[in-house]
Structure 1
Amino acid sequence: MKYIIGLGKTGVSVVRYFLEHQIPFIAWDDTPVLQEKVQLMGGAIVAPSQAPWHAVEELILSPGIPTTFPTPHVAVQLAKKYHIPYVGDVEYWYKRTQYSGYRYVGVTGTNGKSTTHAIIDYVLNALNLPHFSGGNSGVPVLDAPKLASGAVINLEMSSYQLDILDQMTFDAGVILNITPDHLDRHGNMENYILSKITQITRVKPGGLKVVGVDCPGGKEAYDSLTASGQTDIIPISATQVVEKGIYTVGNQVISTENDGNTVLGLIPDSLPGAHNAQNVMAAMLVCRHLEIDVSEFFRVLPSYPGLAHRQERVLDTPKALFINDSKATNADATLPALKTYLNVYWIVGGIAKDEGVVPLLPYLEYVEKIFLIGESAERFQAELKSVSPLVLKMDTLDNAMNFIAKELDQADHKVTVLLSPACASQDQFQNFEHRGRVFTEIVQQQFGSK
């Protein structure tokens, strides 16, 4: 009998799969409404303290279930006590598909993995190549259709998912960057880097290994891997020339893999900033490894529409460009936007991460005014007290947008209105998607006809 722990989107997909395939299971989640949902589906809810552990052969954990830090979930503690293995849905699915002839791609990184994953998916779609894209975002793997041998399995992998792999290997692995995040789950930065590194150490012999080296964590991962004998890694950088790798100058993607510098293609203007350059380089290398001609990749790339809530261009008027970057839930995720746009009206705030906005203080040269929202407003006001842009405490997104509307009526130059909160959203919104949708709706209603 299987025991499913965690009944969010991933856990419910496991429930559906087990019901469809008549696999005996019990399930648990600490949230009553999720318990009820699974009961209505026909699943049995059993608390860890009441579970028949003698009959449990394997735990299937949702990625949000802690296995080490800050404290292992009680079900994990009991599984260890009774020597019962635990895996995630990705590992469980892999064990059932590993002989199907699929080609497995894993993309990880603190920031940017969703965009890189989406670019790969877009190119595969455009070229009508059989594939499935899912994992950390989008469709859970157990909802994937059955595909023909040779199909590409394009997975976005979080550190949580990597931590509960067992036997899975990849044909291609990408680490975009590693910056401080989720340290409560990993204990410290060293453990977090070790978790991310497994995306590379799990690549099959002859597979593709890509590591971004523009941040200290990524460079540390690259150095550690190469020192351990992983000498076939391709480094990528949007800030410097790299040997035997890929880098960018302006919008040119340049290879130093062979003698000299070879321009492979151009990054379209619709993907601005160093972060997007990194995403494009990684996606290009994956597609090339999948035997897609580089020229075909760059032919398709300009029509890629981008992901919602990730520097999404909501509206462009003579007065202002409105950017929805609601997915930026920490300072590192906000930094690329602050480096990309000019004359910025920056809307920031919510549930603050430990670092707050302090890491962003050196990068405000393009910011004209800062509008503080959410429960972090007073804290951020104190952290920003010495900066030159005008700081205004607005409390809510509605207040900020109403104030900005009046400002734009008097503005003598075009500005960028940037929602890039550097915070979680649940103080005033359901999630970052809800926050981004509200921003988009306000923009369209207040400024769409101007």
Structure 2
Amino acid sequence: MIPVTIFAGRKLAVVGAGLSGLATARALQAGGADVVVWDDKEAGRAQAAEAGFPVEDLGQADFGAFAALVLAPGIPLTHPEPHWSVKKARAAGIEVIGDVELFFRARAAAGAGCKVIVITGTNGKSTTTALTAHLLESAGRDVALGGNIGNAVLNLAPFAPGMIYVLELSSYQIDLTPSLKPDAAALLNITPDHLDRHGSLAGYASVKARVFAQLGADGTAVIGIDDAPCRAIAETLDGPYAVKHVAIGRTVRNGVWAADATLFETDDGNEVARVDLTGIGSLRGAHNWQTAATAYALARSQGVDAPALREGLRSFGGLAHRMEQVARAGKVLFVNDSKATNADAAGKALGSFDNIYWIVGGVAKDGGLGGLEPFYPRIARAYLIGEAAEAFADQLGDAVPHTACGTLARAVEQAAEDASRSGGDEPVVLLSPACASFDQYANFVERGDAFRKLVMQRNGVTSLTG
């Protein structure tokens, strides 16, 4: 835990009693602050009380008594309208911040010789963050991994010389962090997302761009330039820091680009290193080449040399539920991509394999399978599950052979049997649902865990996940 001492002896309100909210309250208390907690949900209030924090109905509170309001990132700050607690804080003239802001202020106060790397973007943040941390750790660096990836920033190890904090940040977290000042930052990509919380794509992009706003002369900005919003941001990066571009399928003058499962590092137009990604199962597909290129550039910014990064990339196991290679049974590969909750995400997996026995369905997003037509030739058969099965059968029509299975268990059974009889190379049983899970599972994690369990119960299966 990182004790936050900068508010010692002062009273603060923490709104939102989830993982980050309770970590915040704990860190502030440890630093000597007087903390009260509120959550709009009864279950959250009960959780805070059980953890030993004072729970106060802030709807009746005098916000002038608080030094600051610390808001959980999932609570609206601006759009579609500010949360009631934000309105009260602004009326009282007190600041509204988040736990990541406390992290950066505490770091500045500590004066510790540690570094912070921040990764954001619409897609691929978690894998890039995990890979960056892995590359640094495999090169012998002391690393703390957290943020939006699951471990609240204030739960990380206290600041220490030589430590590198690798943080995944969402746009919500960035919006609550005016003192965001990393030593290196990466923006992967921008596609329309969370527009209800930022008002427009332009508003969303402007929040993402803040990761670079306070980079110092020794800092490094790493930015993907394969989408128009990021290219526009890249053109504005003229600070004193180094700028590294990342691209897929085209060269960059300074940065890292990828093609045909190979990374090329360039400096002033000259190639200085290349890394072959062939055979690294956790980094299959062009979207994962972008992940690898970004993590490579970030690790290089911390002084890790190319040979060490080659070794680190080859030992990366990937993240659960994200094109996770679960097991093999003979020539059949089983892949858990349960995190693919929309068509765009599923397309990344479909584009990474051939001879696919595709398990798809759940609660469909707008457009259903629209946009996946170019991948249909790769699909041997689709196995439809959940609420979307009938609609997906209509969308697939005669273009893709398909079977209505209803349940994941039935889909795994049929897909595995069909794949085992395939005459093609490396048949892949792929769970990439292009749907939310809520009709049959609480979340994508539960769905992916169920897939893994069903696969491992089959005869002749060899685990690939340890």
- 2-side partners of 1:95 and 1:104: how far apart? 13
1:221 and 2:233 equivalent? Answer: yes
- After superposition, residues 184-203 of structure 1 pair within 5 angstroms as 184-203=196-215
Find the counterpart in structure 1 of residue 404 from structure 2.
393
Of stretches 254-263 and 285-294 in structure 1, the one that deviates more from structure 2 is 254-263
Find the counterpart in structure 2 of residue 167 from structure 1.
179
Find the counterpart in structure 1 of residue 257 from structure 2.
247
Contact 1:357–1:380 (8 Å) recurs in 2: yes
- 2-side partners of 1:294 and 1:408: how far apart? 39
Q: 1:330 to 1:182 in 2, by over 3 A?
A: farther
- After superposition, residues 27-426 of structure 1 pair within 5 angstroms as 27-98=37-108, 99-223=111-235, 225-226=236-237, 232-270=242-280, 271-385=283-397, 388-408=399-419, 410-413=421-424, 414-426=426-438
Q: Shift of residue 389 of structure 1?
A: 0.8
Give per-residue Cα distances to partners, 1:57-82, cap 9 Å, x unaligned: 21111111111222322111222222
What residue identity is the alignment partner of 2:300?
R
- 2-side partners of 1:338 and 1:213: how far apart? 23
Q: SS of the counterpart of 1:205?
A: coil
Q: 1:427 to 1:83 in 2, by over 3 A?
A: farther
Q: Shift of residue 130 of structure 1?
A: 2.0
Q: 1:24 to 1:33 in 2, by over 3 A?
A: same
What residue identity is the alignment partner of 1:207?
G
- After superposition, residues 7-46 of structure 1 pair within 5 angstroms as 7-46=17-56
Q: Shift of residue 30 of structure 1?
A: 2.1
Q: SS of the counterpart of 1:195?
A: helix
Contact 1:252–1:263 (8 Å) recurs in 2: no
Q: SS of the counterpart of 1:427?
A: coil
Give the % identical residues.
35
Q: 1:300 to 1:201 in 2, by over 3 A?
A: same
Q: 1:260 to 1:142 in 2, by over 3 A?
A: closer
Q: SS of the counterpart of 2:14?
A: strand
- 2-side partners of 1:297 and 1:406: how far apart? 39
Q: SS of the counterpart of 2:217?
A: strand
Contact 1:69–1:186 (8 Å) recurs in 2: yes
Q: 1:404 to 1:67 in 2, by over 3 A?
A: same
Contact 1:108–1:175 (8 Å) recurs in 2: yes
What residue identity is the alignment partner of 2:57?
A
What residue identity is the alignment partner of 1:440?
R
Contact 1:315–1:448 (8 Å) recurs in 2: no
- 1-side partners of 2:91 and 2:371: how far apart? 42
Q: SS of the counterpart of 1:342?
A: coil
Q: Shift of residue 204 of structure 1?
A: 2.1
Aligned residues: 447
Contact 1:131–1:154 (8 Å) recurs in 2: yes
- 1-side partners of 2:343 and 2:156: how far apart? 34
- 2-side partners of 1:203 and 1:400: how far apart? 49
Give per-residue Cα distances to partners, 1:188-238, cap 9 Å, x unaligned: 222221121112223223311111122334334324x24x77895221112
- 1-side partners of 2:347 and 2:243: how far apart? 27
Q: 1:81 to 1:392 in 2, by over 3 A?
A: farther
Contact 2:77–2:83 (8 Å) recurs in 1: yes
Of stretches 13-22 and 51-60 in structure 1, the one that deviates more from structure 2 is 13-22
- 2-side partners of 1:200 and 1:331: how far apart? 30
Runs of 5+ consecutive residues of structure 1 not aligned to the other structure:
none
What residue identity is the alignment partner of 1:294?
A
Q: Shift of residue 273 of structure 1?
A: 1.1
Q: SS of the counterpart of 1:365?
A: helix
Give the CA RMSD over aligned residues.
2.2
Contact 2:338–2:431 (8 Å) recurs in 1: yes
Contact 1:268–1:301 (8 Å) recurs in 2: no
- 2-side partners of 1:45 and 1:355: how far apart? 43
Contact 1:61–1:88 (8 Å) recurs in 2: yes
Q: 1:48 to 1:348 in 2, by over 3 A?
A: farther
Give per-residue Cα distances to partners, 1:362-390, cap 9 Å, x unaligned: 332311222222333344344434x6112
What is the TM-score of this pair, normalised by structure 2?
0.90
Q: 1:419 to 1:214 in 2, by over 3 A?
A: same
Q: SS of the counterpart of 2:351?
A: helix
- 2-side partners of 1:388 and 1:79: how far apart? 56
Contact 2:455–2:461 (8 Å) recurs in 1: no
Q: 1:220 to 1:371 in 2, by over 3 A?
A: farther
Q: Shift of residue 319 of structure 1?
A: 4.6
Q: Shift of residue 406 of structure 1?
A: 4.2
- 1-side partners of 2:252 and 2:303: how far apart? 24
- 1-side partners of 2:73 and 2:459: how far apart? 40
Contact 1:238–1:247 (8 Å) recurs in 2: yes
Q: 1:187 to 1:427 in 2, by over 3 A?
A: farther
- 1-side partners of 2:391 and 2:202: how far apart? 29
1:431 and 2:415 equivalent? Answer: no
Q: SS of the counterpart of 1:16?
A: helix
Find the counterpart in structure 1 of residue 4 from structure 2.
none
- 1-side partners of 2:304 and 2:178: how far apart? 30
